[in-house]
Amino acid sequence: MEEIKVKYFVDDIDELCYVDGKSDWIDLHAAEEVTLRAGEFRLIPLGVAIALPEGYEAHIVPRSSTFKNYGILQSNSMGVVDCSYCGDNDQWRMPVYATRDVTIEKNARICQFRIMKNQPPLRFTRVEYLDGPDRGGFGSTGK
């Protein structure tokens, strides 16, 4: 099991935990109460700085209930934190846009992350034709 060093910026939020058998995504919490007005942008502090292992990155996305409960959208769709963002003051934050007036309580679970191995080096080769089946060019529906 990998050991990950975590610095907490506040004492009264739930600590990170991996729930074996449930999901390999780990919840992140608002580190302070945040009140937003509809149309407002804010970086919500998540109360942690994490030293990721070399060659890994974290992917941060909203929880499935975040929009329903709070009416906020993660403004960059998905956040990526690389392993160089590992300093003592590199607190993770969630950039959000509010679609309605809302107060997010301190310690509310608003997003989640997982740690992923960096993509290996790739070489792209230009070809005239691809050998796979033609599915219509748009997702699984084809149209």
Distance CA 139, CA 131 (A): 18
50 vs 57, 59, 84, 106, 135, CA distance in Å? 11, 13, 10, 20, 42
The length of the chain is 143
Q: Catalytic amino acids?
A: 82
Q: How far is CA 1 from the centre of its chain?
A: 22
